[in-house]
Chain A
Amino acid sequence: MTRPRDPFASTLIHRLPAGLKLGVLAVAGTGVLYLDDWRLIALAMVVTLALYRFAGLSMRQAYLQLKPMQWILALLFVAQGFMLSWGMAAAIVLRVAALVLLAMLVTLTTRTDALIAAVERALGPLRRFGVNPAKVGLAFSLALRFIPVIGAQAQEIRDAQRARGLGANPIALALPLVLRTLRMASDVADAIEARSPYDDDELPPRFVEKAKSTQSRTTCKDNKAPLETSST
């Protein structure tokens, strides 16, 4: 069976340590905030887009990172344009877009477990103040994992409301979404509990015994066939 290629090892940017990428993101992000000249901010944007290409990502993929916030950026541009100047508005919007693109580049090119390990290492010194780095790391992972799930739930609720003739009402959407998310959070907490049976343990003998029995077992060929990929 051909092994799938590890996408997190495909380019130099992918292979850089997660801690280094987060550090560079923090420094570059702060730097972009201090830039006033719109031409320099535009240059930062060009460099960011060049990094996308360097990481083997297309301009469409870069656009997709900004798409969910395009209306916010448009509103920001118009508001700042009227309140300040159109040049300043362009600089502010470019700055926000460059920061978002840089942050997304890090998440697109880094394994989540590597990001979490880096966050946990960085928070290590805060243990003495009662911070649990493992819990912060897990919260970070859950946020990344459940953004699309909550997005899909919002879409489901919107569709159901549309089917029943309800127009776009933010409160009618928010209430069931919050209730569903809270119920889901309770289930997810149970699942984390159920799936975390080890706590800094040595490898138990059952792993060695079961590995032997697995090697001697014939794997069912049917199981290798991918399932129907109809989305649910």
Chain B
Amino acid sequence: MTTIEVRDVHQQFETFEALKGIDLTLNEKRIGIVGSNGSGKSTFARLLNGLLVPTRGEVLVDGLDTAKNGKAVRRKVGFVFQNPDNQIVFPIVEEDVAFGLKGLKLPAAQRDALVEEVLDRYGLGAFRYHPSHALSGGQKQLLALAGVLVTRPDCIVFDEPTTLLDLRNARKVSRVISELEETVIIVTHDLKLLENFERVIVFDQGKVIADDEPSRALSHYVERMQ
């Protein structure tokens, strides 16, 4: 299991300090991150796979410093963005899934088999040759997930994966996430998504204000929002 250590992390954007001294060790299988808009939770998520490097402090993924070992960290930690449209980079579904394997010395047949396996796993096999822009919102989010899973990460960070989806597709994506074998860290406003999670961390104004098992952490969050 992946262990992520966040040590005294500060994140400064020009004059705005998005994170103010975060210290956490993440080693549970299911971790939720909640907080109001602008609380720093998405910034925090981007630190976990080296998309952002902290302006002060360090983030270690299984001992690897995200500032020095970006590629190695991203092999371990995948990232699914809020808007799948910005994550899908190829015009055809199967080509997009194969994109993550581009840097691997892999025979074409083996690459195709990996792509096919992950597409079938998420009900996208029938859409293999479809234009990616023509998929529904839910299908695009699953395609974005498939594109990450094909690279075989140990942990996946989701940044508000259901925010742009209708209820049916949000439920479908939630179910798929709950069935993942990989470690899952989710930034979300959808508190139902965090049922059965092991740990929930609440952010407010760049600080952790609660870090507990879901019912306690979420009641603290709900109270704070009233």
CA distance A144 to B92 in the complex (A): 10
In contact, A203 and B133 (Cβ under 8 angstroms): no
Residue of B nearest to A227 (CB): B138
Q: Which residues on the A side are within 8 Å of B121 (C-beta)?
A: 214, 219, 223
Which residues of A1-31 are within 8 A (CB) of B?
1, 3-4, 6-8
User: Which of B3-11, B14-22, B123-131, B203-211 lines the interface with chain A?
Assistant: B123-131
How many chain A residues touch the partner (CB < 8 A)?
Answer: 55
User: Which of A40-48, A49-57, A171-179, A205-213 lines the interface with chain B?
Assistant: A205-213
User: Which of B25-33, B171-179, B217-225 lines the interface with chain A?
Assistant: B171-179
- Decide if A187 is an interface residue (CB 8 Å cutoff): yes
- Decide if B67 is an interface residue (CB 8 Å cutoff): no
Given A197-B74, A231-B136, A223 and B151 touching (CB < 8 A)? no
Q: Which residues on the A side are within 8 Å of B83 (C-beta)?
A: 187
Q: Which residues on the A side are within 8 Å of B95 (C-beta)?
A: 111-113, 141
What is the 8 Å Cβ interface bit string for chain A, positions 176-207, against chain B (1 contact, 0 not)? Answer: 00000000100110111111111111111011
In contact, B101 and A198 (Cβ under 8 angstroms): yes
Q: Which residues on the B side are within 8 Å of A127 (C-beta)?
A: none
CB distance from A132 to the nearest CB of B (A): 14
Residue of A nearest to B110 (CB): A203
In contact, B105 and A202 (Cβ under 8 angstroms): yes
- Decide if B109 is an interface residue (CB 8 Å cutoff): no
CA distance A203 to B151 in the complex (A): 10
CA distance A93 to B98 in the complex (A): 40
In contact, B86 and A184 (Cβ under 8 angstroms): yes
Q: Which residues on the B side are within 8 Å of A169 (C-beta)?
A: none
- Decide if B191 is an interface residue (CB 8 Å cutoff): no
In contact, B104 and A198 (Cβ under 8 angstroms): yes
Residue of B nearest to A2 (CB): B126
Among A113, A210, A227, A229, the residue within 8 A (CB) of B123 is A227
Q: Which residues on the A side are within 8 Å of B74 (C-beta)?
A: 193-194, 196-197
Interface centre among B49, B105, B151 (most CB of A within 10 A): B151
In contact, A195 and B90 (Cβ under 8 angstroms): no
Given A194-B49, A195-B148, A223-B121, A145 and B106 touching (CB < 8 A)? no
CA distance A204 to B172 in the complex (A): 31
In contact, A191 and B103 (Cβ under 8 angstroms): no
